[in-house]
Amino acid sequence: MNFTEAKLLVGKLTAELNEHNHKYYVLDKPEISDYDFDKLLEQLISIENEFPELLSPNSPSQRVGGAVTKEFKTVKHKYAMLSLGNTYNENELRDFDERIKKAGLNAYEYVSELKYDGVSISLTYVNGELRQAVTRGDGEQGDDVTTNVKTIKSIPLKLSGNYPQEFEIRGEIFMPKNVFLKINEGIRKQMEEDGFGEEEIFEKLLKNPRNAASGTLKMQDSKTVASRNLDCYLYSLLGEKLPFQSHYENLTAAKSWGFKVSPHMEKLNFIDDVISYNEKWETARHQLNVETDGVVIKVNNYEHQKFLGFTAKSPRWAIAYKYKAASASTVLDFVSFQVGRTGAITPVANLKPVFLAGTTVKRASLHNADIIEKLDLHEGDTVFVEKGGEIIPKITAVDLTKRKPGVSKIIYISHCPECNTGLVRKESEAIHYCPNEYGCPPQIIGNMAHFISRKAMNIDSLGEETIVQLYDAGLIKNCADIYDLKKEQLVGLERMGEKSADNLIAGVEQSKTIPFERVLYALGIRHIGETTAKKIAYSYKNIDAVMNATAENLLSVGDVGEVIAQSVVNFFSVEKNRKLIERLKAKGLKFELSADALANTSEKLKDKTFVVSGVFSKFSRDDLKKAIEVNGGKISGSISGKTSYVVAGENMGPEKLKKAEKLNVKIISEDDFIKMIE
Ligand code: IVH
């Protein structure tokens, strides 16, 4: 393909991709499959790679992300980004209408829109191309987040139709509810697998969709932003040469240029209609896949808007009507206590089912004993459940007027509901644990379920249900027992035919080829996730070395902190665990790095400790750290007398630089480092 042909094809592919993107993300009417879309995109990317001069800043290829923003530039807004006055009831809204009448306006129209709960954004378009995206900031100036915004598929990079040459359009970037739930589900699942307790998981979960959207927009790596599927509704147009002199008509035009404008915007003539609109959406809003916290009412005509003007902070021609957080009252049936794989106890409130914000709520997590204490929860209490932006319901208070006399307080259990062992609570933690790691059924089963899971030994012929079945039948009590299973023992069991039994045995056999780093992860050592297991495996190369490592020694592995180091040492100090490993070794599981993996490792950096600082061009920070580890080096987070080298990238912190110079530690570049390992 020559340059002219490539240029033509890039133009054609760009137009096609933009159109399909619009159909999928704005109109919700896809015409081609994801597969076909990806094929077109791949084709475009490959031509852009071959002819880099054809890559335009608004190419559809920019939507996948990749660029990293180290620091967001501050940009002054051409038109200040104001906020809105709030109203909370019908009367306040009627007062707003009266003020407009009193100002002397007669024939005015209102536009009612939903108030989306996300982050406001201002987009500038020049000649039909997205030029800049700036956050609200303090209203006067905000952050330039253009690179990240380009990954939001419903925001057009190129417009179509008859748009003004230059204008700004503002709207709300949000994280759809289903995306929010899915991300949290993923975080929870991974952390549970890695042995984190409820309290720690709760800390890491995204708190609500608004928070998640705002955090995502400020991420440095646009690839991560792209993966988080943000969306955007546009609700206001600004500029010198707009096609109409009114809000509704301009937004309708903007829709035809490719923007996603809310389909629920309505032109209304009277305040009574505005109030009906509010009532309609108070419940209907819960069916939407976007969080809303109210309605915005705007005077439609720009002349009227100008006439009404602004107060210091907000327009007089618009106002927000805010919904109260969805809340319901229901009766507490009982509190149950769940035991997790790590022995962490989670108290759960079981409630009389109540309909709240689009779903039926039957249960709410009470998190820990302190929360129960704070609520002063009693048996049979009537409680208020609320769903803010959080989606996960929580009990906010007890309705004391409904408490029956003489009922007793909810007492936190002192013994494990599964094995009756006395619970313990570590000093700094709010969570209770059952310490009977090797005798408490949910902990034993949870450990085995982790062992066979996909990222660990990947024995998919043996699901969690079968684990429970085999445990109940007395056939397995720990991971090593799985390797002793015989076909004859299995066939008699319920739902287990010859074929399933054969499959199960074959799957177990097959798992013996799983590499060392995953076996290490499968052992279920608390706080050892997939990545940490890999790092430890590459540093120590075999299980004996890991077993003999001291906590201090382990700290030199990247990402291993005090808690993890101590957890490893504790695990191997238990006789039962050492025996388990001996048995698994005898069964033929891999307890050392494969020859292939070893070939990629060296001792070139043995006994050298590195500190990594700044941003690199040839490595990501993680890859650089990995390169240090696989070559036998150690990593430390801070510079000390023991540091051998600081690998300095762009933007190395000035404090680190000072310290390195003071302690006479050698500072090397990325290229110097590459030479060391070549
Ligand atoms: S119009 C002059 N329309 O609510 C203010 N704002 O408190 C113009 N918001 O910062 C804003 N949905 O982030 C408008 N349909 C909508 C909205 C909306 C959500 C947010 C926006 C603004 C805040 C105002």
pLDDT tens per residue across span 631-651: 888 888 788 888 999 999 887
Domain of residue 667, CATH code: 3.40.50.10190
d(CA 519, CA 586): 14
Domain that holds residue 487: 441-513
Domain of residue 15, CATH code: 1.10.287.610
Q: How confident is the model at residue 326 (pLDDT cuts 50, 70, 90)?
A: confident
CA of 74 to the centre of ligand 1 (A): 21
CB contact at 8 A, 80 and 310: no
CA of 62 to the centre of ligand 1 (A): 28
Measured by CA distance, the residue closest to atom 22 of ligand 1 is: 83
Residues 457 and 577 placed together within one structural domain of the fold:
no
Residues 476 and 614 placed together within one structural domain of the fold:
no
Residues 124 and 244 placed together within one structural domain of the fold:
yes
Q: What is the rounded average pLDDT for all residues in the chain?
A: 92
Q: Is 72 within a domain? A: no
pLDDT of residue 607: 85
pLDDT of residue 391: 65
Question: What ligand 1 atom has the least distance to the C-alpha of 320?
Answer: 7
Q: If DSSP codes are grouped into helix, strand and coil, which group holds residue 656?
A: helix
Of 599, 624, 656, the position where a domain reaches its end is 599
Residues 186 and 41 placed together within one structural domain of the fold:
no
Of 315, 330, 354, the position where a domain reaches its end is 315
CA angle 599, 604, 609 (to 5 degrees): 125
pLDDT of residue 192: 78
Residues 446 and 571 placed together within one structural domain of the fold:
no
pLDDT of residue 26: 95
Pocket test for ligand 1, best of 172, 295, 308 (most atoms within 8 A of CB): 172
Domain of residue 141, CATH code: 3.30.470.30
pLDDT tens per residue across span 174-191: 999 999 999 999 998 888
Instruction: Please compute the mean of the pLDDT values over residues 50-74 and round it to a whole number.
Output: 90
d(CA 453, CA 451): 6
What angle do helix axes 34-50 and 3-25 make, rounded to 10 degrees? 150
CB contact at 8 A, 160 and 97: no
Q: Which residues of 593-609 are buried (b: 16+ CB within 10 A; e: fewer)?
A: beeebeeeeeeebeeeb
pLDDT of residue 527: 87
Q: Is 661 within a domain? A: yes
Q: Where are the alpha helices (DSSP H) in 359-478?
A: 369-375, 441-452, 464-472
Contacts of 276 (CB under 8 A, 6+ apart): none
CB contact at 8 A, 142 and 77: yes
Measured by CA distance, the residue closest to atom 9 of ligand 1 is: 115
Residues 144 and 293 placed together within one structural domain of the fold:
yes
Domain of residue 460, CATH code: 1.10.150.20
Q: Is a pLDDT exceeding 90 seen at residue 656?
A: no
CB contact at 8 A, 451 and 457: yes
Residues 193 and 254 placed together within one structural domain of the fold:
yes
Instruction: Please compute the mean of the pLDDT values over residues 178-205 and round it to a whole number.
Output: 83
Q: Is a pLDDT exceeding 70 seen at residue 458?
A: yes
pLDDT tens per residue across span 337-349: 999 888 989 999 9
Of 513, 539, 557, the position where a domain reaches its end is 513
For the record, the structure tokens of 130 come out as 């997205």
Q: Is 396 within a domain? A: no
CB contact at 8 A, 163 and 130: no
Share of the chain above pLDDT 70, in %: 99
What angle do helix axes 177-193 and 209-217 make, rounded to 10 degrees? 80
Q: Is 100 within a domain? A: no
CA of 83 to the centre of ligand 1 (A): 7
Residues 125 and 232 placed together within one structural domain of the fold:
yes
How far from the centroid of its chain's Cα atoms is residue 347's Cα?
A: 25
d(CA 467, CA 166): 64
Predicted TM-score (pTM) of this structure: 0.73
Q: Is a pLDDT exceeding 80 seen at residue 194?
A: no
pLDDT tens per residue across span 487-526: 999 998 988 999 999 999 999 999 999 999 999 999 999 8
Q: How confident is the model at residue 655 (pLDDT cuts 50, 70, 90)?
A: confident
Q: Is 623 within a domain? A: yes
Could you tell me which of 120, 115, 111 has the C-alpha nearest to residue 297? 111
DSSP string spanning 541-562?
Answer: -BHHHHHH--HHHHTTSTT--H
Residues 159 and 308 placed together within one structural domain of the fold:
yes
DSSP string spanning 62-87?
Answer: GGG---B-SSPPEEE-SS------EE
> What total number of domains does the chain contain?
5
Q: Is a pLDDT exceeding 70 seen at residue 434?
A: yes
pLDDT tens per residue across span 273-283: 999 999 999 98
pLDDT tens per residue across span 529-538: 888 898 899 8
Ligand 1 proximal residues by C-beta, below 6 Å = 82-84, 113, 115-116, 120, 136, 172, 235-236, 296, 315, 318, 320
Measured by CA distance, the residue closest to atom 23 of ligand 1 is: 83
Residues 571 and 632 placed together within one structural domain of the fold:
no
Residues 521 and 509 placed together within one structural domain of the fold:
no
Residues 184 and 204 placed together within one structural domain of the fold:
yes
pLDDT of residue 69: 85
Beta bridge partners of 598: none
115 belongs to the catalytic site:
yes
Where do we find the tokens 């988080």?
Answer: 228
CA of 87 to the centre of ligand 1 (A): 14
